[in-house]
Amino acid sequence: MNRLLQVVSFLSVLFAFTAISAHADTQNGVTCNVQNATTFPTGGGVYPADGHLYECIPASMLIIGREESIVGAVQKFKSDISGQQGALEYLQSNGALFYHFRTQADAIAYMSGEYPNSLLVPASTTRCGYTGADSKGMFMSKRITSSIFDMCHYTRAGIEDVQNPSITETVGHEGGHAFDYTLALNSSNPGTPTSETTPFLDYVGNDLQNENAINPSPCAIFGSAVTSALEYDLQADALTPVCQGSTVQAAYKGKSITNILQLKSPYFFFPSQVPGGIADYADAWAQMFAFVTGNGRQTNFLPVTDNAFQSFQNLCFGSAVSYWKNHLAPPPVGGAPDFPGTCATYPASEWNH
């Protein structure tokens, strides 16, 4: 065998191994199978069921329709503007992966074997899902992974794993983190996610102030929604609703919208108060992404928090995330048909992208 053939032969062995390991892999007792048009025909072969989705739940324990729900939720990441590439294609072209695990423990077991000592391994504080991103190797290739848990892991009222109330809202939220991190990894300042840049923080801060002025009664925003188990685990103050009808309950009387968000949704608006909370507004960005992609407001997931997000959806905060999702670019100064001019008070260069 001549030298060139030897090299070719070695490469084909390497490719064969790569193909096998990409198909199914077992780490610490958890096996993940790649999902594509052949292995998961009901996924339609569309992203992420085009080789970017890994099913890590044994077939005997897999709830029918859940994998399809993941694909359906991700497909909603497309741009609202016809012919325009949006977050969907951006995540796909950057190779963002989705993993579907039964529990947080399975996710940690697998990811810590597959991506040892990396930011892709979920922390023990994660609840219904986790997203990590990093750059790796000689060519600094990007790695972005979202792990979706079928069971949410709660600790506040004792350690328990309970059925995830909404896989689709989880995918919308984790997809928002993946989109944020992908934008960051491609930016001139890859250490700074878009959700942490000054204009975005200002949009959220200004919207909060405006909400306090626009809505003297918190009942218009929060209504009588009862805090969910997930919100309670995310350090909501109590299960008590903010209002009964139009009557503000005692614990919230005289408080501003901002004060009530601090009590009811600290994870999203005051993350430093919460174990596992991400700095700045990364979780506000992610949850708004779930909203603007039509994956928000699912039953019993984040009922009180989502009432607030709905009120922000058409303000600057929601409009900014929507603009990014639709255009893969910062909202322009002076506004645009789909971005209010009153919000665009910051030069685009401040976005660091």
Contact residues for Zn ion, defined by CB under 5 A:
283, 286
What does DSSP say about strands 53-55 and 97-101: parallel, antiparallel, or unpaired?
parallel
Give the integer Cα–Cα distance in Å for 255 and 272: 21
Helix or strand holding residue 119 (H, E): none
CB of 187 to Zn ion, least distance (A): 20
Q: Measure the CA–CA gap between 145 and 344, rounded to whole angstroms.
A: 32
Q: What are phi and psi of 63, to 5 degrees?
A: -75, 130
| Shortest distance in whole angstroms from residue 147 CB to Zn ion | 11
State in angstroms the smallest separation of the CB of 182 from Zn ion: 15
Tell me if 204 sits within 8 A of 281, measured CB to CB: yes
Nearest one of 190, 195, 183 to 91, comparing CA atoms:
183
Strand ranges (E), the chain: 24-27, 30-35, 53-55, 97-101, 129-136, 141-149, 151-154, 160-163, 243-244, 247-248
Structure tokens at 154: 């709660």
Strand pairing category for 141-149 and 151-154? unpaired
Closer Cβ to Zn ion, 94 or 305, answer by number: 305
Q: What is the CA radius of gyration of the chain?
A: 21
Rounded least distance, CB 235 to Zn ion, Å:
14
Residue 331 CB, shortest distance to Zn ion, in Å, is: 22
Q: Are 95 and 81 in contact (CB under 8 A)?
A: no
Residue 101: name the closest of 132, 51, 67, 133 by CA: 67
User: To the nearest whole angstrom, how small is the minimum distance from the Cβ of residue 306 to Zn ion?
Assistant: 14
Give the burial class of 270: count Cβ atoms within 10 A of its Cβ; 0-12 exposed, 13-18 middle, 19 or more buried: middle
Nearer to Zn ion, 106 or 283 (CB): 283
Q: Is 130 helix (H, G, I), strand (E, B) or coil?
A: strand
Least distance from Zn ion to the Cβ atom of residue 177, Å: 6
Nearer to Zn ion by C-beta: 325 or 327?
A: 325
CB closer to Zn ion, 125 vs 258:
125
Helix (H, G, I), strand (E, B) or coil at 45: coil
Which residue has the CB atom at the shortest distance from Zn ion? Answer: 283
- At closest approach, how far in Å is the CB of 286 from Zn ion? 5
- Asked whether 70 and 167 are in contact (CB, 8 A), the reply is yes
| Residue that has been written with the tokens 């506000």 in this structure | 284
Place of tokens 């984790």: 174
Q: Which is nearer to Zn ion, 109 or 286 (by Cβ)?
A: 286
Nearer to Zn ion, 40 or 301 (CB): 301
* Residue closer to Zn ion, measured from CB, 114 or 283: 283
In this structure, what token pair is assigned to residue 164?
């995830």
Return the number of the residue (94 or 131) whose C-beta is nearest Zn ion. Answer: 131
Output 35 or 168, the one with its CB closest to Zn ion. 168
User: Cβ 279 to Zn ion, closest distance in Å?
Assistant: 12
